[in-house]
Amino acid sequence: MDRLTTKNITVSYEGTNIIEDISIELKKGEIVCLIGVSGVGKSTLFNVISGLLNPDSGTVQLDGSDIAGKAGNVSYMLQKDLLLPYKTILDNVSLPLVIRGEKKSKAREITARYFEEFGLEGTQNKYPKQLSGGMRQRAALLRTYLFSDQVALLDEPFSALDSITKSNMHKWFLDVMEQIRLSALLITHDIDEAILLSDRIYVMAGKPGRIREEIIIREPKPRAREFVVSDSFMEYKKYILSILE
């Protein structure tokens, strides 16, 4: 069942189309990556899906309901973790519940239940500056999940991490997503990351930006680390590069 769909989304600026005729779908529990060069319109599409930007034409549906131009229906995690430096990790993560009207004590109680599952146990009373980049991203993802456990938009969530930390985060991300079954649409410039994490990949290219190809990654999850050096992985990568070039 499709959890999220966009149909024929077009957005223009000063008479020039930025993205054109974008139709994508995200099913329950899927990780779908959106890949393309800088400036192709990936973030513009995310702003439409999140309700921050109205499209010139087209529709956005969440579980069959029209959400175009309506913010607050899906969660949106930006590249930077945006944790508040003066709040503890527990209070940072529980913020979506407080914003929705939950009492702070109850919000903390609900949030604390997820800390072990997200690999954050022991960080509840620490502050963001006391955590590594990887741990801050875990906290940011948990906060995103608590905002909406239906659909998450993740805009390059691992791009600021060093290669070793990123590799460890990829494994953790796949494991935790398997548990929570969150449907996620993820922007990345990293082709290897897209192939490793995705159930499907949409490749955007051109001006205006369009979906040029939908690629299904057929290897079952969980995927072993050896997948990234396999022949099939390299074939996916060469094919994506041929589209982008």
Q: What is the reported pLDDT for 193?
A: 93
State which of 147, 176, 201 marks the end of a domain: 147
Domain boundary, last residue among 147, 163, 196: 147
What confidence score (pLDDT) does residue 114 get?
92
Name the 3-class secondary structure at 159: coil
Residue 180 and residue 231 share a domain: yes
Shared domain check, 189 and 169:
yes
- pTM across the whole model: 0.90
What CA–CA distance (Å, rounded) separates 214 from 61? 19
Q: Counting Cβ atoms within 10 Å, is residue 152 exposed (0-12), middle (13-18) or buried (19+)?
A: buried
Q: Are residues 47 and 163 in the same domain?
A: yes
Residue ranges making up the domain that contains 96 = 83-147
pLDDT at 1: 62
Identify the helix (H) or strand (E) that includes residue 51: none
pLDDT computed for residue 125 by the predictor: 95
For 209, which DSSP code?
Answer: B
**Domain boundary pick from 130, 147, 164:** 147
Structural tokens at position 83: 């944790």
CATH number (domain holding residue 239): 3.40.50.300
* β strands within the chain, DSSP E: 2-13, 16-27, 31-35, 57-62, 65-66, 75-77, 151-155, 183-188, 200-205, 210-216
> Do residues 112 and 155 share a domain?
no
Q: Compute mean pLDDT per 10 residues along the chain, 245 residues long, and list them.
A: 90 93 95 94 94 94 90 85 92 92 92 92 94 90 88 90 86 88 92 95 94 94 84 95 89
- Counting the structural domains of the chain, the total is 2
Mark whether 101 and 193 lie in a shared domain.
no
With CA atoms as reference, report the closest residue to 153 among 82, 80, 76, 79.
76
* 57 and 169 inside one domain: yes
Which pLDDT score, from 0 to 100, does residue 194 have?
95
